[in-house]
Amino acid sequence: MSDRILDDAQEMLADSVRKYVERGYGDAVRQASIEHPHGCSPERWEEFAELGWLALPVPEEDGGLGGSMVDICVIAEELGRGLVNEPYVASAVLGAMLLADAASATVRMQWLPGIAEGSLRVAFAPWEPGARFDMGAINTRAEPIDKGFRLYGEKTLVPGGAGADAYLLAARLADSGLLGLFLVPAAAAGLTATPRVFYDGQHATQLRMDGVEAVEALTVGPVAEVLTLLEKAMDRGIVAHCAETVGVMRRTFEITLDYLRTRNQFGRAIAANQVVQHRMVDLYVEIEEARALTRAAGSVLAEQGPNDASLRCRYSAAAKACVSLAAKHVWEESVQLHGAIGMTEEYAIGKFIKRLALASTLYGGAESQLERLAGVSFGNAAVCP
């Protein structure tokens, strides 16, 4: 349905991203991005920069456009529709915004203008092996040395990590009980970045820190304080990821609906069967709700600022749970309604299905998010500050 919630400028933005994707992001372009060792075509990233999309999440004082979360969601949704493979959400939104939140003026000046113009890319490494999507499970150690720290530990599956110029990661300060957030250049000695590929073709990285020398921490503080900083950033990443996934779902739904209208069995279109119609209605309603809740979460984060922790947490957790459940429902039904052809690599729907399956789990699936939401309703400080 047409949206009253978008103002004219946002409608124009959505329209321009959609046109770019329709004209310039076909199957061959996507395939080239998937096959690029970084899962990110440099030419496309440059185009994103020229269009201002990379500058949007960067504050104005750092050479960016200081766009709102609602604007970011508009872009992400359209990129999702086009099944764009470049790590817009992971790198341009989550990574860049965390850096802007945490870094000193000097570090911001070094990195953010380059991020906005597409010459630099950072990624946040939120998780460690064996702890699911729990950002608080940090075993990476930071040992103080003369000048700065030395880092030891492991971070698993860094979205947008392939080809990043630097990684943001948290480590425990030895003996002090404090947490630090560090910026580690990709070229740092002692850092091993192992490429990983998600099953839908997006790229990630596994990091191993073996005495990496980090000159200084972006920030050091009590555990709860630093975790709150990380969660604020992660909630923006989550909501942008929800918007992207909503775009993927909408396109998947359209493809499936087209298929059902054109494929004939027993002398009539499959879509003529009421049982099929009702199932499509269920998907339609779930997608519309997921979209509305994501937009609501976007405006909560944009307007309320991320300072009201419980409101922020409530909406981002609810949106992600809603989107995760919807994504799962949409991809499973899309396979079933397509029949055997829905299970093939060569048919268009396959790529959408894999992206949705991944998206329903990435950044924490429904169960994790519902527990987080319950934390807001019934209390559990450890889960949600």
Partner 1 sequence: MLQSAELMDFKQQVRSFVRTNLPPDIRDAVRQGQQLPRERQIAWHEILAAKGYLVPHWPREWGGQGWTVQQQMSFDEEMCTNDAPELNSITFDMIGPVLVRYGSDAQRKRFLPAIASGRQWWCQGYSEPNAGSDLASLATRAERRSDYFVVNGSKIWTSYAQYADWMFCLVRTESSAKPQQGISFLLIDMKTPGITVRPIVGIHGWVVFNEVFMDDVAVPLDNLVGEENHGWTIAKSLLEVERLKLARIGENKRRMARAREVGLTRTEAGQRLADRPWFRQRFAEVEMRLLALEANAGRFIDRAQAGLPVGAEVSMLKMRGSRLIQLWEELTVDALGPEALTLNLTVLDPATPPTSRDSIAATASSRRFLARGYTIAGGSSEIQHNILAKQVLGL
Site residues (vs partner 1, CB under 8 A) = 1, 3-5, 257, 261, 271-272, 274, 277-278, 280-282, 284-285, 288-290, 292-293, 295-296, 299-300, 303-304, 314-315, 317-318, 321-322, 366-367, 370-371, 373-374, 377-379
Q: What is the DSSP string of 211-232?
A: EEEES-EEEEEEHHHHHHHHHH
Smallest gap from residue 256 Cβ to partner 1 (A): 11
Minimum CB distance to partner 1 smaller for 6 or for 65: 6
The Cα angle at residue 67 between residues 61 and 72, in degrees rounded to 5: 140
Minimum CB distance to partner 1 smaller for 60 or for 303: 303
Cα–Cα separations (whole angstroms), residue 185 to 2, 32, 170, 188: 44, 26, 14, 5
Smallest gap from residue 308 Cβ to partner 1 (A): 11
Minimum CB distance to partner 1 smaller for 225 or for 282: 282
Smallest gap from residue 303 Cβ to partner 1 (A): 6
Q: Which token pair is 314?
A: 């409530």
Amino acid making up residue 219: T
3-state SS class at 2? coil
Cα–Cα separations (whole angstroms), residue 260 to 332, 334, 373: 15, 10, 37
Minimum CB distance to partner 1 smaller for 28 or for 382: 382
Minimum CB distance to partner 1 smaller for 205 or for 369: 369
Smallest gap from residue 232 Cβ to partner 1 (A): 18
Where do the DSSP E strands lie in the chain? 122-124, 141-144, 149-159, 166-173, 178-185, 191-197, 203-214, 217-222, 264-265, 268-269
Smallest gap from residue 268 Cβ to partner 1 (A): 12
Secondary structure letter of residue 93 according to DSSP: I
CA proximity to 170, closest of 142, 212, 130: 142
Minimum CB distance to partner 1 smaller for 198 or for 284: 284
Minimum CB distance to partner 1 smaller for 6 or for 109: 6
Smallest gap from residue 287 Cβ to partner 1 (A): 11
- With 0-12 / 13-18 / 19 or more C-beta atoms within 10 angstroms meaning exposed / middle / buried, residue 262 is exposed
State the Cα–Cα distance between residues 66 and 64, nearest whole angstrom.
6
Bridge partner list, 166: 122, 185
Kind and range of the H or E run holding 166: strand 166-173
Minimum CB distance to partner 1 smaller for 140 or for 368: 368
* Cβ count near 61 (within 10 Å): 12
Kind and range of the H or E run holding 173: strand 166-173
User: Dihedral angle at the C-alpha atoms of 349, 352, 358, 362, nearest 10 degrees?
Assistant: -160
Minimum CB distance to partner 1 smaller for 4 or for 147: 4
Smallest gap from residue 7 Cβ to partner 1 (A): 11
Smallest gap from residue 257 Cβ to partner 1 (A): 7
Smallest gap from residue 269 Cβ to partner 1 (A): 9
